[in-house]
Amino acid sequence: MGYFSCNAESAIATCDSYNWNLKKNRKKHTHNHTPFKIREFSYSDLHSATNAFSQDNLLGKGSHGYVYKAHIHQYKLIAAVKRSKLNSSNNCPSENEIEILSRVHHPRLVNLLGYAVDESNQNKLIVVEFMPNGSLYELLHCCSKPPNWTRRVRFALQIARGVHFLHCSNPPVIHRDIKSSNILLDGNFNARLGDFGLSLRGHVEDVVVKSTPPAGTLGYLDPAYLAPGDLSTKSDVFSFGILLLEIISGRNAIDVNYSPPSVVDWAVPLIKSGEYTEICDPRIGLPEDDGVLRQLAVVAARCVRKTAAKRPAMTEVMDWLKVVCKRMSSPIWNNIGRRVARVGRVMESARVMKYEPLDDSMEIVKISRIGSTRRNRKVSDVASVDLGSVVIGGHKTNQEIKPVIRSKSIGSLGEIESEPLDLDNNNQTVRRKGGLAVKMPAVRLSKSRSMGMIQSSTRLMNKNIGNGVVVKFFKKTNGKELEDSKLLVDVGKLELKGETN
C-alpha cells in the first residue's frame, strides 16, 4: 500500500512492481520535477483544521461522504478533507482513492496532499488540494453568468489533458466517473479532475480490473461497459464525450425537459445532420467562428460512438482540442471568420483544423471549394443510450434556468446500498464555502450494480454532412500579394478519418 509512506515515490519504488522505472520516466509520467510529498496527518490536526468538521467548513456532500475545508496551520495549508461515511470494513472508496492518488500527480488533477486515520473506526480521511471556485457543474448549470466559448474550450482541453495523463500512466488509471461535478476549478479558474473513488489502476487484463463490477454515473456511463471485462480507457473517452456535449450545449447529461432526455440521443443526430447550431448553449449563442462549434461537436460525437474500439484515444482528443483552442485564441481567426462568413456563408461546411497566424500587414482571404460537392462526410455509429425510467436533472435551454438535480455516482468498490429513487428537495443542500452557493435537491439512485447497465436500444443511421472548403491566406508585403502556403487550412481532418462502421 503505497500511501502508507510519507513519500509517494519511495512507496512506489519499494512496493509497486509496475513502477520500477518510475524514476527514469518521472518526467513523462508525473510532470513534476521534484517528487511530491504525501503527508500522514494526525486525526486531531484535521479535527482542529476543520473546526471539528463543522457545518461552516462543509464544502459539500457526495455519495460516499462529506468534504470539509481545512486550514492546516502547521503546514500553512488550505486543503479539502474528504471524510467517508462508510466504515473502512466496507472497503470504502477512500482507500482506493488514496492508493491511486498517491501514485499520480498532475496540474490538471485535484492532487493528494496526504491522509489521516480516524483511530475510532479506522476510516481514512483524504486530504486533497482545495479548489476554491466550485465545480464545472455549478458553473455550467447554476451560474447566472455562464462561461463563454473561450473558457469552455479551455476547460475541455484542460480536462482532456488530465484524462490523457491518467491513461498514459503505467499502468493506466481509468477514472470511471468523469462528469462535470467532478471537475473542480482551482484558484486560477483552471479545470482539475477530482474524485478518484471509483478509479481503477491497472491494465485491462489485470485481476483487479477484470473482477471489479462496473460503476459510474448514469448519463455518463459507457453503454458498452456491461461487465468488468468491458472496461478500457475508452469508457472514460465516452464519459468525456458526454461532458463535452454538456459543455457545448449547457444541458445536463440526462434532462427530462428535453426530448430525448439523454444528451447523446438528443445531440448526436443533430451533429450527424450538420445542425450544429441546434446543440449550442442558447445562453451564450454561437461562437464568432462557427467552425469552433462544429469541431467541438464532431470531437464529442466521435467520443460517444457506440463501439468502444472506434472511439478516439485521449491523445487524439487532446490534439484536436489543442487545435480548436489555438483557433479560439488567435484573434485573427475572428477576423477571418467574419470575412469568410460574409462571402456567401461558404464557411458553413469548412472543417478547419490548423492555423498559424500571419506575421505582418494585411491578410486577404480567398476561398475555394475542394473535393466532391456531395455531402459526403459523416459521423457514424455513435452510442445511443436508452434511459428507461430513470429521471435525473434539468433545466430548460431557453430563458429560465431551473434548479438542477445532479447525477450521482453509482456502484462502488465496496458494499453497495440499495436505496429508492428519491427526488425530494428537502434532503440535501450542497453548500460551498468560498465558491458558488448552490442548493441542490438530493437524488438518491438505487445503487445496485445493474443500475449502471444502460443498454443501447437504437442504432443511429449514418447521414452525410457538409463539403470541404479550403481557405487560403495572402499577405501583402511591399504592395505585392503573396500566398502563404503555411496557412493552407487542413480541411475535414476530423470527419475524414475512420468514419465507417
Cβ closest to ligand ATP, residue 63 vs residue 295? 63
Stretch that binds ligand ATP, among 61-69, 165-173, 300-308, 326-334 (CB under 6 A): 61-69
| 60 is a contact residue toward ligand ATP (CB under 6 A) | yes
Q: How far apart are CA 264 and CA 266, in angstroms?
A: 5
Helix or strand or coil: residue 474? strand
**Candidate list 177, 195, 255, 290, residue with the active-site label:** 177
Cβ closest to ligand ATP, residue 8 vs residue 430? 430
Q: Is 177 a catalytic residue?
A: yes
Question: In the complex, what is the shortest distance from the CB of residue 138 to ligand ATP, in angstroms, rounded to a whole number?
Answer: 7
| 160 is a contact residue toward ligand ATP (CB under 6 A) | no
Q: What region, left, alpha or beta, does residue 107 occupy, with left being phi > 0 and alpha being psi -120 to 50 degrees?
A: alpha
| 165 is a contact residue toward ligand ATP (CB under 6 A) | no
| 63 is a contact residue toward ligand ATP (CB under 6 A) | yes
**Binds ligand ATP by CB under 6 A, chosen from 102, 123, 169, 182:** 182
| 50 is a contact residue toward ligand ATP (CB under 6 A) | no
Helix or strand or coil: residue 164? helix
| 114 is a contact residue toward ligand ATP (CB under 6 A) | no
| 223 is a contact residue toward ligand ATP (CB under 6 A) | no
Helix spans in 275-330 (H): 290-303, 314-329
Cβ closest to ligand ATP, residue 56 vs residue 483? 56
Cβ closest to ligand ATP, residue 63 vs residue 90? 63
Q: Which residues are annotated as a binding site for ATP?
A: 82
Stretch that binds ligand ATP, among 43-51, 175-183, 218-226, 237-245 (CB under 6 A): 175-183
User: For the stretch 39-74, what's the b/e string if a residue is b when 16 or more beta carbons lie within 10 angstroms of its beta carbon?
Assistant: bebeeebbbebbeebeeebbbbbbbbbbbbbbebee
Q: How far apart are CA 68 and CA 329, in angstroms?
A: 36
| 110 is a contact residue toward ligand ATP (CB under 6 A) | yes
Cβ closest to ligand ATP, residue 204 vs residue 436? 436
**Binds ligand ATP by CB under 6 A, chosen from 98, 136, 153, 184:** 184
| 135 is a contact residue toward ligand ATP (CB under 6 A) | yes
| 494 is a contact residue toward ligand ATP (CB under 6 A) | no
Cell numbers at residue 385, please? 443510450
| 180 is a contact residue toward ligand ATP (CB under 6 A) | no
Q: H/E element holding 270?
A: helix 263-272
Cβ closest to ligand ATP, residue 38 vs residue 67? 67
* Size of residue set near ligand ATP by CB under 6 A: 24
**Binds ligand ATP by CB under 6 A, chosen from 102, 181, 199, 235:** 181
Q: How far apart are CA 250 and CA 346, in angstroms?
A: 27
Q: How far apart are CA 67 and CA 389, in angstroms?
A: 31
**Binds ligand ATP by CB under 6 A, chosen from 430, 471, 489, 494:** 430
3-state secondary structure 451-473: HHCCCCCCCCCCCCECCEEEEEE
**Binds ligand ATP by CB under 6 A, chosen from 2, 162, 194, 219:** 194
| 71 is a contact residue toward ligand ATP (CB under 6 A) | no
Helix spans in 50-135 (H): 93-101
User: Angle at Cα 112 formed by Cα 110 and Cα 113, nearest 5°?
Assistant: 120
Neighbours of 124 (CB within 10 A): 20
Question: In the complex, what is the shortest distance from the CB of residue 221 to ligand ATP, in angstroms, rounded to a whole number?
Answer: 12
Ranges within 362-381 binding ligand ATP (CB under 6 A): none
Cβ closest to ligand ATP, residue 78 vs residue 117? 78
| 246 is a contact residue toward ligand ATP (CB under 6 A) | no
Q: How far apart are CA 91 and CA 111, in angstroms?
A: 22
Residue 445 CA: distances (Å) to CA of 23, 28, 315, 429, 451: 43, 39, 33, 17, 9
Whose cell is 492508493? That residue is 99
Cβ closest to ligand ATP, residue 362 vs residue 421? 421
CA nearest 345: which of 280, 277, 398, 283? 277
Helix or strand or coil: residue 89? helix
Residues in a beta bridge with 305: 382
**Binds ligand ATP by CB under 6 A, chosen from 2, 62, 114, 260:** 62
Asked if 129 contacts 186 with a C-beta cutoff of 8 angstroms, the reply is: yes
| 409 is a contact residue toward ligand ATP (CB under 6 A) | yes
Q: How far apart are CA 491 and CA 471, in angstroms?
A: 9
Q: How far apart are CA 224 and CA 221, in angstroms?
A: 9
Q: Which residues bind ligand ATP (CB under 6 A)?
A: 59-64, 67, 80, 82, 110, 128-131, 135, 177, 181-182, 184, 194-195, 408-409, 430
Active site positions, annotated: 177
